[in-house]
Chain A
Amino acid sequence: MAFNFNWSPLTADADFYERAQELLTTALNKSPKPPIIVDDILVNELNLGSVPPELEILEIGDLAEDRFRGIFKMCYSGDAFLTLKTRVQANPLNTYLFSKPSFTSPQPLAASSGLTIPLQITLSEIKLSAFIILVFSRQKGLTLVFRNDPLESLKVSSTFDSIPFVRNYLQKEIEMQLRTLMMDELPAIIHRLSLRLWCPEYRAKEEEEMAQAVKQEEEEVAVDPFSSPPQDAVDSRGNVLDASEISSLSLDGGSEIHSLFSQKNLLRLAALTDSHRTLSLFTPSIRDAVFRAWAGPSERSDSAGSSTPATPSLLRSNSSLGTSTTYTFSRGSDDGHGHLPSRPSLVSMHSATSGLGLGAGRHSRSHMRKKKTRVVNLRKPKTTDDLVSESGESETSSDAPASEPIMPTRIPEEPEDNIIDPPHSPQRVRFRESNADIASPQKARLAARPALSNILPEQSILDPSPSIEKSDPTVPIFSREHRPPFHSSPYPTEKVPATYTPAPILSSDPTAAGSILSQAWVLKMANEIARQAQDMNVKGAREGFWSQSQGEREDSPPPAYQAAM
């Protein structure tokens, strides 16, 4: 493996220097300046020099075409220099009085009168030595953090080099300022710079893609998938949201999804979440439903903790490992399913979506996947490929119990809108196959449980909070992944079979959890949804295939989310 760091292209780009100067200038003037500096600090000249810093790779946590995470040891003693221009107060008595209380001030009459002098400072012979954590992703830009104080030494030469007092003072002050700049401001500057470099490009690409895929979705391009949790899209206050409002709020953006549920039930669920959130004692009654949230608030933390038990770095390595393994595994399973192409794409997509953010959701995801692989290994000898895949899936789903009930909600609706189903992700398809032999998977699951994790059955029951966490990351991922595959040829053929499967599989997961109550609730929800779906169908016929598909494609995560609530 080799890394190619290009140092000279940076210097060749005149535009880069301009931007860097601009950003540095704003950064330098942000923090409060010492009283001796009476004007804005302007970056006059900036040159990165020709000698690149020496980088020693200590650790690489995550690596792909469009993302990178690693820890470096950096040593720099190059010929970069920086020239600053500002005006300083040359009267030491003036600066002396600046921060002193007026009560004990000697109150000089005119001895403290100011003399401001333009000053040019050149910082050169900068010697740096630091441990750097570098995180890069195409979507989130570049983040660079210093683990320690990077500044080893630097030479400050200024207009006042002949006066030792002033020179020493400047040296001291500038070193101090530069330290804060390096530790606090530089990461921000670099991040902004990288965003400018990559973000527009990324956006343009996205837009192009979107235009090809679905014209209707063009508005969504700009929407950041992570910034719009479906939570918000669901009307928590019971207000009627119009389609545009919802789509602006959430990536899935299909008002259709929401109309799948009755307004009344949504209101109740919203009230329920609110009551949990606000510690309100009022709990709205939902018929035929048992709130798993009552299992205890500790569950939340448990589940959340279990999903991210290791340190970030550890997790990262896990994730990379996990992705690779899933990739191979999926291949095997795909042979049976005939979903080969979709699998790899899925994996890569997951990785793509995880950017700088590397949120908890992502961690959990990667974690889950790892487990899955483990399970697969155990089960392979016993069961068929399908079964293996199923067990693996169930594992993941058990980790995210909340999502389970959501899936079942689909059941009734699917038979009705067959067309809609094709958009379902390959994952769904997998499920279905496993459903074929529901009895056996359950056994397999039971066996797998202990090996997978020490999660208690009760814990695996629906828990609202974990579902939220998990569903959040999944939403964007799904939408991302789907777009390209959606148009690809293999899908349409699969669509018809896929429709049926998702629902049963999902429902089977809850059973795996071992809770009859949840099933009952799921059924109830399913009925409710079925009713809505009928209405939807009527609407869908009117709106045409595209709108439906859009809704379908993205609805899978949100219902899960809502059901969890």
Chain B
Amino acid sequence: MLEFMDYIQHAFYNVSGWNYENSYSQLTATARALLDFETPRGLRLNLSSLSSPNFATSYAIGSVGLVDGSLSYLYTSLPLQTTSQSGKIDLHDVIHGYRQIQELRRPEESWMWEEWQTGKRTDKRDSLLYGRLYLPQSTLEALYLRRISPTQQLKLSAVSDGRLRNGGTILALHQYDTGKYSAETLYSTDGGLLGLRGLYNFGPDPRKEITEPPRTEDRFYGRFSAGAEMYYGSLNKSGGVSFGGRFATLPAHKGVPLTATLTLNPLMGNLSTTYTVKAGKNLALCSKFDFNVYSYESEVKLGCELWRMKTRIPKERERSIAAKLEWRLDPIEQNLAPEPEEVVGVLKARVDQNWKIGLLWEGRVKELLFTLGSSIDMKRKDQPFRAIGLEIQYSS
């Protein structure tokens, strides 16, 4: 489940028109959500609030060994009108599961952001500031996010911690996204790491006028994306490269939605494939297979997520006054629109070839969002439960 501050950050992306998913680093987001979810440890409480459209606070307290906690504040220059009450938040927004790739949007032109007043430009770039202090550890996290233009974003994140070398690190990330392709460059002060990431979406260019309607009658109606990343540590003279591709069906696809990815690390000989199917309306299945051509090591992971829905009970309608006066019953409405279902909870489970099992149950009780999780190691018969945890969030 997303933390409140991440939820707000995603809201910022949405409001400012940034496509968070159109990035090479999000290529395997679906598989990550289904297979690599984190199981909570210990008890953790989050108390958050979006006190004004521009300001959010969040406090967390947890007990893993000893009591620790964090304070976080967020300011955004862009007013966010998102629902922040934990009783009303749509769980689909805070729980990442199978991620449906959307049709590419046409990015706004930069002139659309211009505001003129009495011959002067008055528009300002939206930015987000976020800080978080972990208390016993005295670790400070800071984030500065700025939308430079409709197609560009700058993200500076920093961690200050006395235990780190040089007292902390800063990561600068510049993202450029035109819809058809996206590119990211990054620099980290830790080891002087330089990075370059790019993603290209095959298919129609969203920037051009679509002349012909999509042919949804094809067996698969989806999009193929390919990308690559490259890193080079300028201080420690090390690097890394990977290539990846993804095929995902689009919402207009009539069959079973699916996502398949393939990533390749030519330097390390690593090959990883994932295949995810949304087998039902509330069920998604995922598998992942890793293989290393140099060491012949392989890994298999299976996972699934099951959404438990609850139909809203329709209210009992009183007989209308008009009907009573006329001594008749109300006419039965034939085509009642089905009430949207409400998410009760999500069950996520994964298992790998070592019989390590991860279980996660996320949902809502009254006004509280909770995450209950456990990781189990079946190979250790004496002590199979490696970790168990409960996380409770309340926000207003």
Contact = CB atoms under 8 A, between A and B. Distances in A.
Given A101-B169, A103-B141, A111-B229, A92 B236 contact: yes
Interface string B202-244: 0000000000000000000000000001110100111111111
A109 interface: yes
A106 B230 CA distance: 11
A111 B292 contact: no
Given A90-B268, A103-B141, A110 B170 contact: no
A107 B175 CA distance: 14
Contacts of A103: 141, 143, 157, 159
Interface stretch (B21-29, B55-63, B144-152): B21-29
B193 interface: yes
Interface string A7-36: 000000000000000000000000000000
Interface stretch (B183-191, B307-315, B318-326): B183-191
A48 interface: no
A93 B297 contact: no
A101 B188 CA distance: 12
Interface in A73-106: 90-93, 96, 100-101, 103-106
A115 B297 CA distance: 8
Interface in B7-36: 24-25, 27-28
B268 A96 contact: no
B53 to A, nearest CB: 25
A92 B238 contact: yes
A109 B24 contact: yes
A117 interface: yes
Contacts of B28: 109
Nearest to A118: B295
Given A100-B190, A105-B171, A115-B270, A93 B229 contact: no
B79 interface: no
Nearest to B132: A103
A93 B244 contact: no
Nearest to B238: A92
B161 to A, nearest CB: 7
Interface string A43-68: 00000000000000000000000000
Interface string A112-133: 1111110000000000000000
B292 A115 contact: yes
A101 B237 CA distance: 21
A108 interface: yes
A104 B191 CA distance: 13
A113 B236 contact: no
A169 to B, nearest CB: 9
A90 B229 CA distance: 19
A132 to B, nearest CB: 35
A353 to B, nearest CB: 43
B392 interface: no
A113 B244 CA distance: 13
A91 B229 contact: no
Nearest to B159: A101
Contact of B229 (A96, A109, A115, A165): A109
Given A96-B193, A109-B229, A101 B161 contact: yes
Contacts of B24: 109
Nearest to A87: B295
A165 B171 CA distance: 25
Contact of B169 (A100, A107, A110, A112): A100
B159 A165 contact: no
A171 to B, nearest CB: 15
Contact of A106 (B231, B272, B297): B231
Contacts of A107: 25
Given A103-B141, A104-B169, A109 B236 contact: no
Nearest to A113: B270
A104 B295 CA distance: 30
A91 B270 CA distance: 11
Nearest to B297: A116
Interface string B56-76: 000000000000000000000
A117 B268 CA distance: 10
A110 B159 contact: no
Interface in B312-367: none
Nearest to B139: A101
A193 B111 CA distance: 80
A103 B157 CA distance: 7
A117 B244 CA distance: 24
Contacts of A110: 229, 242-244, 263-265, 270, 272
Contacts of A105: 171
Contact of B231 (A93, A101, A116, A117): A93
B306 interface: no
Contacts of B255: none
Given A110-B244, A113-B272, A104 B190 contact: yes
A85 to B, nearest CB: 15
B269 interface: yes
Contact of A91 (B139, B197, B268, B297): B268
B241 A111 contact: yes
Contacts of A112: 240
Given A106-B231, A107-B25, A96 B242 contact: no
A137 to B, nearest CB: 40
Contacts of A115: 268-270, 292, 294-295
Contacts of B268: 90-91, 113-115
Nearest to B290: A113
Contacts of B269: 115
B161 A91 contact: no
Nearest to A104: B171
Contact of B27 (A92, A93, A109): A109
Nearest to B184: A106
B190 A109 contact: no
A408 B104 CA distance: 102
A104 B242 contact: no
A513 B197 CA distance: 89
B179 to A, nearest CB: 20
Interface in B172-188: 173, 186, 188
A117 B173 CA distance: 32
A105 B236 CA distance: 16
A408 to B, nearest CB: 56
B164 interface: yes
B195 interface: yes
Interface in B264-295: 264-265, 267-270, 272, 290, 292, 294-295
Nearest to B236: A92
B14 to A, nearest CB: 21
B158 interface: yes
A109 B242 contact: yes
A8 B93 CA distance: 73
Given A101-B164, A115-B294, A109 B244 contact: yes
Contact of A104 (B158, B272, B297): B158
A116 B157 CA distance: 31
Interface string A504-545: 000000000000000000000000000000000000000000
A105 B195 CA distance: 11
A104 B197 CA distance: 16
Contacts of B188: 104, 106
Nearest to A101: B159
Nearest to A95: B238
Nearest to B169: A104
Contacts of B143: 103
B159 A111 contact: no
A204 B230 CA distance: 67
A109 B295 contact: no
A96 B191 contact: yes
Contacts of B230: 111
Given A110-B243, A116-B295, 4 more contacts: A109-B28, A109-B263, A115-B294, A165-B237
10 contacts: A91-B265, A92-B236, A100-B169, A105-B171, A106-B173, A106-B193, A106-B195, A111-B229, A113-B268, A117-B295
The 5 residue pairs across chains A and B that have the minimum distance between CB atoms: A92-B238, A111-B240, A110-B242, A110-B263, A93-B240
